[in-house]
Structure 1
Amino acid sequence: MILGFKDGRNVYSRWAARLFAQSLAMTDLHNVIIVCVPASTPSAHVRRWKRFSRELCKCTGAINGFDYITVKGSRKRAHVTGDYELATNIKHYIHIDPDYFRGKKVLVIDDIYTTGQSSRSFIAAMEAAGADVVMAMFLAKTRQHR
């Protein structure tokens, strides 16, 4: 299911949005903007997050911040390669609209938590743009098999 979600397949985008909405059911999100940690390429970012963000905001009453984060380049997939380019060169890959996010509450969502390095870097960039990041959530955690 997670691989289907990462591929941007409709049924799995709706599944993930409903899963997050259930987890957030008791949280008032009416003045909170939802943003997703950018995927490794512009096309993967749109495929994975656009429909999901729209559906989740519809279910929760949150504000959709998808259009205010732009992926400008491509990078290696950190959970696969172990190379955390997003963490070290975030300004080369994404653009965050500071005028939109300044002073607003933000919920950051990522699909896979491996070390947390990419999400921490993205959260730092959001805060540098003036956002007040109040929460972060993840769909799954990478498990290391030895």
Structure 2
Amino acid sequence: MMKFALYEYIPQRFLSRATFEQQDVSRMIIGFKDGRNVYSRWAAREFARALAAVDLKDVVVVCIPASTRAAHVRRWKRFSSELCRLTGATDGFDRIQVSGSRKRAHVTGDYELATNIKHYVHIDNDYFRGKSVLVIDDIYTTGQSSATFISAMQAAGADVLMALFLGRTKLFRKADKY
């Protein structure tokens, strides 16, 4: 299965080492993660542009759950609806329910999703059985959260075709310069 990121994401602690363009994209990704309308529309357009050559009429778009129900709704509901409107895909947002919460992995370094996805996410197995699915997430860092969620979707009977990410985290070493 293919995994692809549209942009390079620079964590805030490294933004001073990034180019202007990288800083701009990283700030837009953070705005998207915060659920701001303008960035939700921007992200949906960017994904739609990347997927323009793909026929998505029989594909369900599913977003990897955020750390809490509120964050999940704020970040993904509007985005998912807009992306599906632009691409003709089916919106799977309402078929993934988040209850409870988990630690934010990018803050704590604890990728808890791998161990407790069944405790805070409900996947509508009956709906996804036999469906072609496109998985979307905001930032790819280690790939652990996406691998766990994709496995859960496959266990529910979904045929996960691809995973797309808005950004892939770029980590800097001391020798890296821009």
Give TM class, smaller chain.
Answer: over 0.9
Alignment correspondent of 1:27: 54
**Is the 1:79–1:112 contact (alpha carbons within 8 Å) kept by the matching residues of 2?**
no
1:18 matched to 2:40? The reply is no
Which of 63, 74, 77 in structure 1 is aligned with 2:104? 77
> Shift of residue 79 of structure 1?
2.0
Identity %: 76
Which of 49, 73, 77 in structure 2 is aligned with 1:46? 73
Alignment correspondent of 1:116: 143
Alignment correspondent of 1:101: 128
Gaps of 5+ in 1: none
**Is the 1:79–1:142 contact (alpha carbons within 8 Å) kept by the matching residues of 2?**
no
Distance 2:70 2:37 in 1: 15
Cα displacement string for residues 20-63 of structure 1 (whole angstroms, at most 9, x for unaligned residues):
00000000000000000000000000000000000000000000
Runs of 4+ deviating beyond 4 Å: none
Paired letter, 2:136: I
Distance 1:25 1:80 in 2: 34
**Is the 1:108–1:136 contact (alpha carbons within 8 Å) kept by the matching residues of 2?**
yes
How many aligned positions are there? Answer: 146
**Is the 1:33–1:106 contact (alpha carbons within 8 Å) kept by the matching residues of 2?**
yes
**Is the 1:111–1:140 contact (alpha carbons within 8 Å) kept by the matching residues of 2?**
yes
Alignment correspondent of 1:125: 152
Distance 1:87 1:22 in 2: 31
**Is the 1:8–1:48 contact (alpha carbons within 8 Å) kept by the matching residues of 2?**
yes
Cα displacement string for residues 3-26 of structure 1 (whole angstroms, at most 9, x for unaligned residues):
110011100000000000000000
> Shift of residue 145 of structure 1?
2.7
Alignment correspondent of 2:86: 59
Distance 2:124 2:46 in 1: 28
Gaps of 5+ in 2: 1-27, 174-178
> Shift of residue 93 of structure 1?
1.4
The Cα RMSD (Å) is: 0.7
Distance 2:168 2:36 in 1: 20
Bigger relative contact order, structure 1 or 2 (CA pairs below 8 A, ≥6 apart): 2
